[in-house]
Amino acid sequence: MAKLSIENFGPIERCDINLNDFTILIGRQASGKSTIAKLVYFFKSIPLWIAGYKDENIREQYIIREFNKYLKSKFIALFGPVFHEPFMEITYYFNESEDRWVGISQRPGKDDYKSYINIRFDRTTRDEVLHLLLRVNGYEKNSEKHISFLSAKIKDFDEFERKSFYDEASKIFNSKNTPVFVPAGRSLLTLLSGQIVKNITLPDFITEDFLKAIQRISSQVSGGLEAAERTFRQINRAPDRAIAAKARNLIKSVLNGEYKQSDGEERIYHSGNKYTKLSVSSSGQQESLWILAMVYVLIIERQSAFAIFEEPEAHLFPEAQYNIVKLLVLFKNYVNNSQIMITTHSPYILTSINNLIAGNISGKVDATKTDKIIDRAFWLPEEKVSAYFLNDGKVKDIFDYELNMIKAEAIDEVSETIRSEYDRLLEIKYDAR
């Protein structure tokens, strides 16, 4: 299990988080949830950047130094200048013994008002990265090409050789899945997805990656979800029909319809030929569409991913929030080596996760009876779940390892405050009688 350790970065003073198969971050706005999610995406993307890093003008002896500069530029592009934080320490451990890691630190520089970012690898990782970078840049020939024609659809490479390099870089970092980030504020990106983006300035490479991804996925689902599955069966191994059907049912329930493209328009069809243009559809439909479509494509292609979802509950009714959690668990259970990270403000998301954990626990006692209440495809193994609450710069583990559930007080904290205020107001009302 990978681990992320942060000291004094952004709103976070100190935290240590284990990246489980299903990791949940909850907390108030500006508490650091997105900071953690973006850091995870940054570290998970390093194998992609190694495979795509090529500069024929770099001298062999300087290649690791220049690649570190490239990583620094990516970090600053994502988080902006961090000179205002004279001291920070971030470490991503990618093996159980924590002797393999990538670190980002900042210490005061020679000038009083400046500090400098430093990116480091443990010695073994550094040597392996250096060796691979030399091969990527042609200093050493790649004698064996482990080429896979089942390459990731989220990140395409122009050459099969790049896919081979990516596979090798992933092995260095013990990564078995492709990083995917679905940011918040998706309704605007949904409306931009059909536009040419080369003249649009995007805030960071995560947003750019996501917009490019949904432009590719939209062509795959343009004729509807069932059509996408039929097309995929013609060119690749078939997904499980029952799993694909379960995914479609959940998606139609959340969207209250089905996405299709017709006459040059993106539409949500409700029944028969009745439809609403995507551009004027509800905020919930616009916010959820590309979470749903992306997960569906990953499911039918059996493409493993480390998928990060910011606020999947945005603008959704509680029942729809439950169904979107079921879809994410279905993906994690069905596609080997897949992992999910969620940032959320919603107690309904936590309650939904607890229900699916309870389904798994009850299923061990009586699978048949449990299956009639919660489909076993959505059961969530409790040992695969980590949950954290962010507050005042610190992170608290809120998973109850005795009861095997997310702690109820974490779910009820906000509603308890509201209830307490209401009770006090009632006291004033009745005391006046």
Q: How confident is the model at residue 147 (pLDDT cuts 50, 70, 90)?
A: very low
**Higher pLDDT, residue 114 or 219:** 219
Same domain, 125 and 141: yes
Burial 307-334 (b: 16+ CB within 10 A, else e): bbbbbbbbebeeebbbbbbbbbbbbbbb
Is 212 contained in some domain?
yes
Residues 355 and 245 in one domain: no
More confident residue, 129 or 56: 129
Return the closest-CA partner of residue 344 out of 39, 33, 20. 33
Q: Do residue 59 and residue 159 come from a single domain?
A: yes
Burial label for 225, CB within 10 Å (0-12, 13-18, 19+), is buried
21 shares a domain with 169 = yes
pLDDT at 145: 40
The answer, yes or no, to whether residue 55 has pLDDT greater than 50, is yes
User: What mean pLDDT comes out for the span 364-382?
Assistant: 96
Question: Any bridge partners for residue 116, and if so which?
Answer: 107
Indicate if 166 and 292 belong to the same structural domain: no
Tens of pLDDT, residues 298-309: 999 999 999 999
Residue appearing with tokens 């169904």: 323
Read off the pLDDT of each residue in 248-268 and give the average, rounded to a whole number.
Answer: 94
Average pLDDT of the residues in 138-157: 45
**What would the mean pLDDT of 51-68 be, rounded to a whole number?**
85
Pairwise pLDDT comparison (247 vs 87), residue with the higher score: 247
Per-residue pLDDT at 397 exceeds 90? yes
CA–CA separation, 2 and 92 (whole Å)? 7
pLDDT of residue 416: 67
Q: CA 402, CA 405: separation in Å to the nearest integer?
A: 8
Say whether pLDDT at 12 is over 80.
yes
Instruction: List the one residue out of 201, 207, 251 whose CA is nearest residue 225.
Output: 251
Sign of CA dihedral 375, 376, 377, 382: positive
pLDDT recorded at residue 252:
96
In a domain, 2, yes or no: yes
290 within domain boundaries:
yes
For 332-396, the DSSP string reads HHHSTT-EEEEEE--HHHHHHHHHHHHHHHHHHH-HHHHHHHS-GGG---GGGEEEEEEETTEEE
Average pLDDT on 139-149 reads: 43
Residue ending a domain, choose from 175, 203, 220: 175
Same domain, 43 and 123: yes
The residue type at 432: A
One-character DSSP codes across 130-158 = HHHHHHHTTSS--------SS--SSS--S
Are residue 96 and residue 149 in the same domain, yes or no? yes
Residue 196 binned pLDDT confidence (cut-offs 50, 70, 90): very low
Region 35-56: mean pLDDT is 92
Separation of alpha carbons 165 and 158, rounded Å: 12
Confidence of residue 29 (pLDDT cuts 50, 70, 90): confident
- Domain membership of residue 76 (yes or no) is yes
Residue 193 and residue 160 in one domain? no
Report strand pairing: 305-310 vs 12-19: unpaired
Contacts of 80 (CB under 8 A, 6+ apart): none
- Is residue 245 domain-shared with residue 374, that is, in the same domain? no
268 and 303 fall within a common domain: yes
Q: Which two tokens stand for residue 418?
A: 């509201």
What pLDDT score was predicted for residue 412? 67
**Of the given ranges (41-45, 98-102, 429-433), which has the lowest mean pLDDT?**
429-433
Residues in CB range of 287: below 8 A, 6 or more apart: 186, 187, 190, 314, 315, 316
Residue 21 C-beta-side C-alpha neighbours within 13 Å = 19
pLDDT at 184: 86
Q: Are residues 309 and 276 in the same domain?
A: yes
Tell whether 24 is covered by a domain.
Answer: yes
In a domain, 386, yes or no: no
Q: Among 175, 204, 236, where does a domain finish?
A: 175
Q: Give CA–CA dist 356/351, Å, rounded.
A: 9
Select the more confidently predicted residue: 280 or 201. Answer: 280
Rounded CA-CA distance 228/231 in Å is 5
Per the prediction, the chain carries an average pLDDT of 86
Q: Are residues 188 and 151 in the same domain?
A: no
| Residue 310 to residue 349: CA distance in whole angstroms | 12
pLDDT-derived band at 153 (thresholds 50, 70, 90) equals: very low
Task: Decide: residue 202, CB within 10 A, 0-12 exposed, 13-18 middle, 19+ buried.
Answer: middle
43's tokens: 């570290």
Tell me the pLDDT tens digit for each residue of 309-362.
Answer: 999 999 999 999 999 999 999 999 999 999 999 999 898 999 999 999 999 999
The domain in which residue 12 lies consists of 1-175
Q: What is the pLDDT of residues 154-179, one digit of tens each?
A: 444 455 677 889 999 999 999 999 99
In-domain check, residue 189: yes
**Residues facing residue 16 across a β-bridge:** 5
What domain count does the chain have? 3
pLDDT of residue 30 exceeding 50, the answer is yes
What local confidence, expressed as pLDDT, does residue 216 receive?
85
Q: State yes or no: pLDDT of 150 exceeds 60.
A: no
- Is residue 389 assigned to a domain? no
